[in-house]
Amino acid sequence: MTSALQAGRRPGGPVPPGSPVGALVVGGDYQGLGIARSLGRRGVPVVVLDDERSIAGSSRFVRRRVRVPDLRSPDAALAALVDVHQRLGLDGWVLYPTREETVAVIAAHREQLATRFRVPTPATPSVEPAWDKRQTYQLAESLGIPVPRCWFPAGEAELADVDLSTPVVVKPAIKEHFFYATKAKAWRADTSGELLDAYRAAAAITGPDEVIIQELVEGGGDAQLAYCALFKHGRAVADMTVRRRRQHPSDFGRASTFVETIEPNELTDLSGRFLRAIDYYGLVELEYKRDPRDGRYKLLDVNARTWGYHTLGQAAGVDFAHLLYLDQLGLDVPETRARSGVRWVRLVTDVPNAVRDVRAGKVEPRAYLRSLRGIHTEAVFSFRDPLPGLHELALLPYLAVRRGL
């Protein structure tokens, strides 16, 4: 099998340092902002492509922002990538997708796009087992990687096979189809009636084939962990293990709001096993939850792209976006591992979520305030680049309606 890395190289060999090779960041929210800052402060020209009002375009590290009507549909996204390449002359620039649906489009049209850009996104055979959670869980089980118990019902009649001795969650196999319609990641069901209602509602959005029912793994932030890496030639060149202490919303978080690096643990081996099986190359985050019933870490999600809190890596000594850029240019990538005890927060979601949890009696106010001491990096605010933070405050009503923040 040709490795994803080899397939990702443009002809011509390494580009000398100082050559004006830029980066096209697809998606301009705080995740895209982190990529732009990482590269822009090193003199790399950055263009941001987005279909939303977003904050990255106001960064002093972004050369140009391009707004298009739609990046959610595959045809529109592909057309936008081809058009911006032609109009702005971005030949050989490194392509950084920040959303799952964009990753899927780039993977599907990889050969075409690789004649224009440097494309670190692998082809569909490597991406699909991460994008489609049916494949994620089935592959993980075949590799001996623990996952929560899952059911893949073909219709309502098969709901009778679901074990409701513990709560379950109803979730989509491909989350974008579900999230944009509901602003939710999953729904909880405790009874057969709740399960039927949730299944019908989910099936109406995604179709019955894309509905997954999964046992709920109980536990709060201490149980939520993730492994992040730049993966290449079957191993991690750079990595970071974290505890995702808080998320928004607290039950089935769409995004992390408070994350801390920890010492490496068994997630390194579990994740490497999965990534080698799909011949993966590039940046990736694998999310796990420790099951209190058996003490095992169970795989919940795989994100074949940069993740929301990737800027935590910069503060912890592993600048993932820059390391990927170096590798795409054929330059040496130092092997690095994030140091533990470094904290990241996104206050615009962490504070409102904490207020809700305090009101519900789930969080003690003083404990929450103590947790904010010693924060090393904030997702958006920066004294060196203040406009995105101000822009985000102005956009809060729009972001709440568009994607629930």
Q: Give the model's pLDDT for residue 341.
A: 97
Please provide residue 32's backbone torsions phi and psi, each rounded to the nearest 5 degrees.
-65, -35
| Residues in the chain, total | 405
Residue 156 contacts residue 199 (beta carbons within 8 Å): yes
pLDDT of residue 16: 46
284-323 burial, b if ≥16 CB within 10 A, otherwise e? bbbbbbbbeeeebbbbbbbbbbbbbbbbbbbbbebbbbbb
pLDDT of residue 405: 56
Q: Which helix (H) or strand (E) holds 246?
A: strand 235-248
Contact assessment for residue 117 and residue 94, using Cβ atoms and an 8 Å cutoff: yes
Q: What is the dihedral of CA 145, 150, 152, 155, to 10 degrees?
A: 180
- In CATH, which of 3.30.470.20, 3.40.50.800, 3.30.43.10, 3.40.50.12170 is domain 221-403? 3.30.470.20
CA dihedral 376, 379, 383, 386 (to 10 degrees): -170
* 181: Cα separation from own chain's centroid: 19
Q: Which CATH class is domain 149-215?
A: alpha beta
Whole-number Å distance between alpha carbons of 43 and 24: 14
The answer to whether the beta carbons of residues 216 and 169 sit under 8 Å apart is: yes
Neighbours of 104 (CB within 10 A): 23
- Would you give per-residue pLDDT tens digits along the chain (405 residues)? 333 333 333 333 454 455 589 999 999 999 999 999 999 999 999 999 999 999 999 999 999 999 999 999 999 999 999 999 999 999 999 999 999 999 999 999 999 999 999 999 999 999 999 999 999 999 999 999 999 999 999 999 999 999 999 999 999 999 887 888 888 889 999 999 999 999 999 999 999 999 999 999 998 888 999 999 999 999 999 999 999 999 987 777 778 999 999 999 999 999 999 999 999 999 999 999 999 999 999 999 999 999 999 999 999 999 999 999 999 999 999 999 999 999 999 999 999 999 998 998 888 999 999 999 999 999 999 999 999 999 999 988 877 766 665
Q: Hey, what are 385's tokens?
A: 């680049």
* pLDDT given at position 248: 86
Cβ pair 56, 62 in contact under 8 A = yes
- State the pLDDT at residue 254: 78
**Whole-Å CA distances, 106 to 48, 95, 162, 312, 349:** 16, 9, 36, 26, 30
Local structure of residue 40 (DSSP, 8 states): H
Helix axes 133-142, 267-277, angle to 10 degrees: 110
What's the DSSP call for residue 218?
Answer: -
From residue 5, give the alpha-carbon distance in Å to each of 170, 229, 296, 310, 402.
36, 15, 32, 21, 35
DSSP helix/strand/coil, 172: strand
DSSP code per residue over 283-332: EEEEEEEE-TTT--EEEEEEESS--TTTHHHHHTT--HHHHHHHHHTT--
Domain map (residue ranges) of the chain: 4-121, 149-215, 221-403
Residues linked to residue 258 through DSSP beta bridges, in sequence order: 246, 345
CATH of 4-121, one of 3.10.510.20, 3.40.50.20, 3.40.950.10, 3.40.50.800: 3.40.50.20
Structure tokens at 194: 């709740």
| Distances, alpha carbon 50 to alpha carbons 76, 104, 113, 115, 181, in Å | 12, 16, 18, 22, 19
Q: Record the pTM.
A: 0.92
Strands 235-248 and 255-262: antiparallel
Amino acid identity of residue 321, one-letter, is A
